[in-house]
Structure formats: C-alpha cells, structure tokens
C-alpha cells in the first residue's frame, strides 16, 4: 500500500448511503479516502436508538477503522471500480497498464505497485482498483509462473524441500526456493505470500 494525502484524489461525491443501506461490502468515502465496510453490526437497546457498529478498511492504506453510527446518519459512497488490465511495460519508476476493455492506459508509480513488481511479466493480466478513475491498488493473479534466470547449483542428489536457497527469476526478483531448483526451471509463486509453491518445468 501507499499513502496519499486526503485531497490527492479529490472529493467526488457520487451519492450517500443511509444507515439503513449499511452492509458488509459497501464502499464509502471518509475524509476523501475510500473505505470498504468489512463488518457491520446493528445493535439496538430495545427502547434506545439504533447503532451501526462498523469496521472500515482504508483501501489506500489497508488500515482498519472502528466507527459507530446512529440511525439517520449517512456516509458518502466511494466511486470505486475494479477493472481487468494487462501489464505493458516499465519505464524507470513508472509501470504502464492497459484496460482490457477500453484500451485506456494507466500508470502506476513503483510505490503504488509495491511488492507486486516481483511478479509482473509483460502481457500479464492483473486486476486494478480505481478510485475516482485513478488507479489505487494493483493485484496480480494469485499464482504466477516465473523462469529462474540465475541460482547457485544445488547439492547433487539433494531433493529435500527443507534446504532452501535464493534464486533470481526473470523479473529480477529473488525468491526463496528448495535447493533442487536450477537455472532454466519454471517455478510457481504465490503472489500473496511471495512464497515458492512448486516447480512447473525443468
């Protein structure tokens, strides 16, 4: 994740949600930043005012906010959209993607791409979240296959998976692999954890 100033994305109101609309999965805007309602509990003392206890995840920072609202309150909706994109190329600190439907191009800084650069191969399909039409989060597929470009040779006959070593893959990233992996092998990596999953081909 990266941080953005509250005003960077502007305040583009696209409507409001009343407490009666509150539910898990709602995308709302607080102080100009987009949040996902990840939990919503309706509590109400029999004769008292209804309270809506929410957990809200900041889509820019990943932090979680506890907020309680009372009946009649409202929240601004956030213009958040998820699109399928293709990774085109990198130009210094800028990564360029293309919307698969509209062919519109989006640029993300290396800060925004964060650790995902490790898995990006040209032409790869990813999903991207837009807030007020600006890209905010890039998600590569959960699993990607990467070719090993360089590694120290493994000890002969060592097939144990608990002996590991770092290898350099085609994107330039280092991945920790079992020692039997050799140069030219293709490995599968879980992009959510950054961990080696299996050898795909030798």
Q: Which of 11, 44, 188, 192 binds another protein (CB under 8 A)?
A: 44
Would you say 55 or 121 has its CB closer to another protein?
55
Residue 159 CB partners (closer than 8 Å, separation 6+): 180
In the complex, least distance from residue 12 CB atom to another protein, rounded to whole angstroms:
22
* Residue 25 sits in the site that holds another protein (CB under 8 A): no
The single residue among 43, 64, 155, 160 that binds another protein, judged by CB under 8 A, is 43
At closest approach, how far in Å is the CB of 39 from another protein?
11
Q: Give the one residue of 1, 4, 38, 51 binding another protein; rule: CB under 8 A.
A: 51
Q: Provide φ and ψ at 110, rounded to 5°.
A: -65, -30
For another protein, which stretch binds (CB under 8 A), given 5-13, 61-69, 131-139, 156-164? Answer: 61-69
For residue 96, give both structure tokens: 């360029």
User: Nearest approach, Cβ of 18 to another protein (angstroms)?
Assistant: 10
Residue from the set 49, 92, 102, 201 that interacts with another protein by CB under 8 A = 49
Q: Which of 10, 48, 141, 184 binds another protein (CB under 8 A)?
A: 48
Least Å distance, CB 55 to another protein, is 10
d(CA 163, CA 87) in angstroms, rounded, equals 34
Measured from the CB of residue 42, what is the shortest distance to another protein in angstroms?
A: 3
DSSP structure class, residue 38: E
* Long-range contacts of 149-153, Cβ-Cβ distance < 8 Å, separation of 24 or more: 149/183, 150/183, 151/177, 151/181, 151/182, 151/183, 153/182
Question: What does 66-133 look like in DSSP terms, one character per residue?
Answer: EEEEETT-EEEE--EEEEEEEEEEEETTEEEEEETTT--EEEEEHHHHGGGGGG--TT-EEEEEEETT
- What x-and-dash track marks residues 143-172 binding another protein by CB under 8 A? ------------------------------
Adjacency order of strands within the sheet including 33-43: 16-18, 74-77, 27-30, 33-43, 51-58, 64-70
Q: How far is the CB of 50 from another protein (least distance, A)?
A: 7
Instruction: Using CB under 8 A, list all residues that contact another protein.
Output: 20, 41-51, 53, 66-73
């Amino acid at each position: 994740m990266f941080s953005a100033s509250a005003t960077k994305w502007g305040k583009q109101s696209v409507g409001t949600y009343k407490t009666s609309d509150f539910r898990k999965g709602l995308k709302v805007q607080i102080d100009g930043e987009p949040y996902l309602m990840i939990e919503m509990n309706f509590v109400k003392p029999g004769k008292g005012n209804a309270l809506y206890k929410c957990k809200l995840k900041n889509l820019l920072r990943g932090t979680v906010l506890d907020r309680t609202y009372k009946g009649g309150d409202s929240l601004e909706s956030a213009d958040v959209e998820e699109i399928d994109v293709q990774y085109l190329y990198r130009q210094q600190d800028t990564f360029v993607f293309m919307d698969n439907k509209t062919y519109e191009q989006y640029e993300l800084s290396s800060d925004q791409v964060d650790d995902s650069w490790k898995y990006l191969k040209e032409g790869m399909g990813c999903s991207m979240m837009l807030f007020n039409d600006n890209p905010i989060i890039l998600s590569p597929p959960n699993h990607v296959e990467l070719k090993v470009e360089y590694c120290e040779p493994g000890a002969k006959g060592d097939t144990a998976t608990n002996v590991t070593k770092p290898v350099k893959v085609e994107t330039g990233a280092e991945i920790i692999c079992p020692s039997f992996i050799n140069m030219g092998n293709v490995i599968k990596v879980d992009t959510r954890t950054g961990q080696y999953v299996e050898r795909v081909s030798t």
